[in-house]
Amino acid sequence: MGKLNVTVTGKACQPWSLQSPHEHTYTDNSMFPDGSVSKASNLCRNPDDEEPGGPWCYTQETGTRWEYCDVPKCGELLYIIVCEDNNATCNCYHELVSHPIFTS
């Protein structure tokens, strides 16, 4: 589960437990991996798995009902640069790792 609460354009997410500024029908606790609507807070989610673009949220802006969020998928791999200090000589190399948000 991600902890992101802003959309791809930087808009703040509306809490799922509120019906303002946008009314919605996502009120069933079982729709959220957090266990409840209130625990889902204003985090990006895909409560009914209907949106092919992944997690999204209702925004707090009246002019924009909802938008997708840029949440990495579980198991997504990233390249990182690792630098080691070996007696004042830095050696850098690329390493393929799992995204740190989703490692336990």
Residue 84 is predicted with a pLDDT of 57
Assess whether pLDDT exceeds 50 at residue 101. no
Domain that holds residue 78: 72-104
- How many structural domains does the chain have? 2
* Residue 102 confidence (pLDDT): 42
- Of the pLDDT bands very low, low, confident and very high (cuts 50, 70, 90), residue 27 is very high
Q: Are residues 32 and 49 in the same domain?
A: yes
Count CB-CB contacts under 10 A for residue 39: 14
- Return the SS3 of 102: helix
Residues 61 and 90 in one domain: no
Q: What is the pLDDT of residues 32-62, one digit of tens each?
A: 989 999 999 999 999 988 888 889 999 999 9
What stretches of 1-104 show up as alpha helix (H) in DSSP? 37-40
Task: Supply the CATH number for residue 27's domain.
Answer: 2.40.20.10
